[in-house]
Structure 1
């Protein structure tokens, strides 16, 4: 649906940027959305393209030629779309590089005797994570507090309780012995 009609400035005040923008938005939104939907793989990406196009229009409202406003918006939308596609390609390239690096990464699980492993697995996930952060990652109580987003005192209390529950679990007789 090609429209060659220009988007005139509003009759009430041709110099009012807000009114001009609103008129432009109402006149061109659907056309730009359709344009973007045809060129994007996801509807939300198309919506972002249109939003960014109108953001540019708002910032440059005084530069938009009144007789060619719709065409000017299509030009901006093309540039926004090109930036969007470049961004998608960069993210895909980065994800591929990260996958390659992670494929080569070695994860060394600590060797743990069966009875200790059973006791550890019997704890809640929260207790296991606390103990892992301290034992495997080497965090001190004040660092643990930052990770848990709590006070240092609260982190120490949680750690103490997790250690106590672990000690109790270690004393439990195993059914497989």
Structure 2
């Protein structure tokens, strides 16, 4: 790209296509919605500053997820913003969120609680593949690990999540043990 206008045009396209997925990514990883907005803004600031280094269109979302992941890591380490928020603001947000009946669905709360009990990498692999809809090789690009490592981690994370949630389906195979076959243990 030779001119500033081309740089601006590309950035606008990247922003338009990736803003909503990046916001959803951030919202699922922070406690306060304002923090998600900050994460997205900082991610796009990095993209703007490094605009000439942006990867091709097919890879730019994965690159942005990687940047957002590092921004989130800095955010979580600092913890400053969450502590500065007063209890009054937290109460207002709880009241606003409580209006949405979907936030009180017991299954959702159970899954959120189970996810919070997983290790950081397990949780991130599950969230990238399930909520962000990334393939293991795409999640590997975001996490900067090999696709094989993501597949192994994903298999283990699913098993740990199943253990935390409990398996109401009973043992593998038919209820009456007709043609009962154990499910192979993935990644072990």
Same fold (TM over 0.5): no
Answer with 1 or 2: which has the greater Rg.
Answer: 1
| TM-score normalised by L of structure 1 | 0.42
| TM-score normalised by L of structure 2 | 0.40
